[in-house]
Amino acid sequence: MIIQVKAIACELPSERGIPLSRFSTREIATEVIRRGIVAEISGSTIWRWLNEDAIKPWQYRSWIFPRDPQFEQKAGRVLDLYQGIWCGIPLGFDEYVISSDEKTSIQARVRKHDTLPTTRGKCMRVEHEYSRGGSLTYLAAWDVRRAKIFGRCEAKSGIAPFGRLVDQVMAQEPYLSAKRVFWILDNGSSHRGQSCIARFKQRWPKIVVVHLPVHASWLNQIEIYFSIIQRKVLTPNDFQSLEAVEERLLQFQDRYEEIAKPFEWKFTRDDLSKLLMRLSKHSEDLRLSA
């Protein structure tokens, strides 16, 4: 019986003609009774059984299947760089790896009433209503091996603003005297394709642009820093002006760099190959069952 309950929990309700997107424990209990598996059962009992195998049908996460035909090749180059390797050869002491991107549309939400600090028995309270104080773009570059962060705020994203970030990094040591500086970038419009490679190469010949595959920002280490920014600087969003947003972002850079260490990146080429094999098998199973 427990096995049958777990099997139902792993079904998509729509495949059984049930007008639900996902099951709750109460809905699983209703379905178990409807199918005659048991005469009576509680949601808490079902939760206890599902918890044994960490089955949580009420949860979901978004997923994108790789669609770049060169996904493994492109992603593998980036994973090698995180290990300090390029084309099978270890990087030299005068070679650097930069992970970079933009965090767009950061708003200044001016709350209708002041945020109230934490007090005994009460958490911080943030007024729900706010007026919009505008938005800006935060551009950042993370030195993967040195744990250095560089950033700037711009009115909007684009080729010119991103170029200013690149100049900001490359015009200072040790990058100015480096043999090569690898820039890991996604396929955003500010730094996409061969035109980006040519543009960077003309201004900074020592730059080697390394583009991620499409839909692979999760392999870009700068996104880890952006998630830290989101949690520690921008949530809750309560700013009196865009100038206040910029000031806090740039001050946080200095604060974070005092304690920053290289991220413990454990996802390797081998892990990538295993993941792609699982996805390929899953796609084939879906094709055969269609």
Banded model confidence at residue 236, pLDDT cuts 50, 70, 90: very high
Query: Are 32 and 83 part of one and the same domain?
Result: no
- One domain, residues 77 and 46: no
What tokens were used for 263? Answer: 């991220």
Measured CA to CA, the distance from residue 59 to residue 132 in angstroms comes to 32
Q: Looking at the structure, do residues 244 and 190 belong to the same domain, yes or no?
A: yes
Residue 275 lies in a domain: no
Same domain, 75 and 43: no
The verdict on residue 65 lying in a domain is: no
Confidence of residue 289 (pLDDT cuts 50, 70, 90): low
The mean per-residue pLDDT over the stretch 71-99 comes to 96
Q: Which of 211, 218, 214 is nearest to 196 (CA)?
A: 211
- Read off the pLDDT of residues 36-68 as tens digits, 9 standing for 90 and up: 999 999 999 999 999 999 999 999 888 777 888
- Contact (CB, 8 A) for 125 and 115: yes
108 neighbors 78 (Cβ within 8 angstroms)? no
CA–centroid distance for 185 within its chain: 13
Are 140 and 208 in the same domain?
yes
151 and 7 inside one domain:
no
In the predicted model, is pLDDT for residue 290 greater than 70? Answer: no
Q: Which domain holds residue 111?
A: 71-119+128-259
Predicted pLDDT at 100: 98
Q: Do 31 and 111 share a domain, yes or no? A: no
CATH code for position 76: 3.30.420.10
Which pTM does this prediction carry?
Answer: 0.84
- pLDDT of residue 279 exceeding 90, the answer is no
For 182-208, the pLDDT digits (tens) are: 999 999 999 999 999 999 999 999 999
pLDDT at residue 66 in the model:
80
What percentage of the chain exceeds 90 in pLDDT? 89
Same domain (yes/no): 226, 101: yes
Mean per-residue pLDDT for 17-30? 94
Residue 286: pLDDT band (50, 70, 90) is: low
pLDDT at 69: 87
Nearest to 180, CA basis, from 98, 102, 100, 83: 98
